[in-house]
Amino acid sequence: MRPTLAIFALLGLLATTDATVFFKEQFLDGDGWKTRWAVSKHKSDYGQWKLTAGKFYGDPEKDKGLQTSQDAHFYSISSRFEPFSNEGKDLVVQFTVKHEQQIDCGGGYVKLFPADLNQADMHGDSKYYIMFGPDICGYGTKKVHVIFNYKGQNRLIKKEVKARDDEHTHLYTLIVRPDQTYEVKVNNEKLEWGSLEVDWDFLPPKTIKDPDAKKPEDWDDRVTIDDPEDAKPEDWDKSENIPDPDAKKPEDWDEEMDGEWEPPMIPNPEYKGEWKPKEIDNPNYKGNWVHPEIDNPDYTPDSTIYKFDNIGVIGLDLWQVKSGTIFDNFIITDDVKAADDFAKETWGVTKGSEKKMREQQLEEERKQREEKSNTDNIKEEDKDAGRDHDGGDEDDEGLDEEGEEEEEEEENELELDEETADETSPLEEVDEDVPTKDEL
């Protein structure tokens, strides 16, 4: 038992030893990345890159990566490594992408270039071997590109691979094997897999339709036919519309002036539509005729579709409308397990904390919005109360003015009464010339 365990352990060690990591980048040495990555000078207005973990993260240092920093710009940057060929071995390309700006339109993919690439002149038309990663633009484009250059032509995958478009960090992995198969994984979930030859148009089809073959004239591919014994009922034919039996000629209808009166038409309740015989199974049905195929004389198998001989540069060649994407945790290797282990040590460790931090931020933002809304409501209520108070004072002043006017009116009335009383008083002055009773 022990020798067997020792053999397995040795085989595992050998497998680990044979694994080669051609490129790895985590941006853990501050500005040291600037010595490893070269910004293209093909255009003078390429967007600027900065090193940051972003607005939220799982670890402030481990999650630092290259971030696009200017809206509506092209970006072009690359890093060189020792050239290699993936002949006879797996090729694994893996990295993380974080669209924390809630991207609306922009690329998030990488390109693998030949070692002879002029990095200072890298641009959108520079020849590349592989293009892989997410591309998002509006609601219509949310896909993962998997493009291979084959004999000078860039060939796109025929399948639709969905990209993640939220604001969190996602892990993208491409595996290409010598048996001409592939896998595309997102967050370690296998989304697509299959044959390079089947899922890309690298080669002409193996077979084609026989140009000399034709469907026989007597080939009957009708599943059902009209029942020859079915007959239309004698009472079937009814008019679609009939005169309204309840309609009456208006009393003021003048036939000399209005012409002959005709009742309006209404749908016929007995109308049955066009008669069609019932269908029965076709006794002569032979099935769908299949065009026979022959070997395609233009097809030549190629067992080296997967192979690239001089891989030596990885680059980011992008356009972004809204900047803010962070690229990190790059690895290029010939060992799937090495890539898996690297993913667990990086993205696997920090993804949970990143999500938690973002949830806390969103909760705090929600509370702040709620507090602001409450404050605004209180201010509005205070304004309303102030307007009500001002209106009450005006009413009081109005009442005071009315009271004063009433008092003035009462005083005027009293004065008038006194004047009237003086004019109509029965006590008159005695005439001195008139003799009194005693004098008489």
Q: Which residues are annotated as a binding site for an alpha-D-glucoside?
A: 109, 111, 128, 135, 317
Rounded to the nearest angstrom, the gap between the alpha carbon of residue 423 and the centroid of all alpha carbons in its chain is 100
Tokens coding 240: 């679609």
Tokens coding 145: 């590109």
Q: Which residues contact 29 (CB under 8 A, 6 or more apart)?
A: none
DSSP symbols for 286-299: --PPPPPEEE-TT-
What CA–CA distance (Å, rounded) separates 132 from 148? 9
Q: Name the binding residues.
A: 26, 62, 64, 109, 111, 128, 135, 317, 328
Residue type, 204: P
What CA–CA distance (Å, rounded) separates 406 from 395? 17
Contact status, residue 178 vs residue 88, Cβ threshold 8 Å: yes
**Block residue for tokens 């679609």:** 240
What CA–CA distance (Å, rounded) separates 188 from 346? 13
What CA–CA distance (Å, rounded) separates 148 from 385? 71
Residues in the chain: 440
Q: Which residues contact 205 (CB under 8 A, 6 or more apart)?
A: 296, 299
Q: Are strands 189-195 and 181-186 parallel, antiparallel or unpaired?
A: antiparallel
Q: Which residues contact 223 (CB under 8 A, 6 or more apart)?
A: 281, 282, 285
What CA–CA distance (Å, rounded) separates 214 from 289? 10
243 DSSP assignment: E
220 DSSP assignment: -
Q: Please give the radius of gyration of the chain, using alpha carbons only, rounded to the nearest integer.
A: 47
Say how many C-beta atoms besides its own lie within 10 A of residue 118's C-beta.
Answer: 15
Contact status, residue 89 vs residue 288, Cβ threshold 8 Å: no
Q: Name the binding residues for Ca(2+).
A: 26, 62, 64, 328
Say how many C-beta atoms besides its own lie within 10 A of residue 24's C-beta.
Answer: 14
Measure the N-to-C terminal CA separation of the chain; round to a whole number of Å. 176
- H/E segment holding residue 214: none
No. of helices (H) and no. of strands (E), the chain: 5, 22
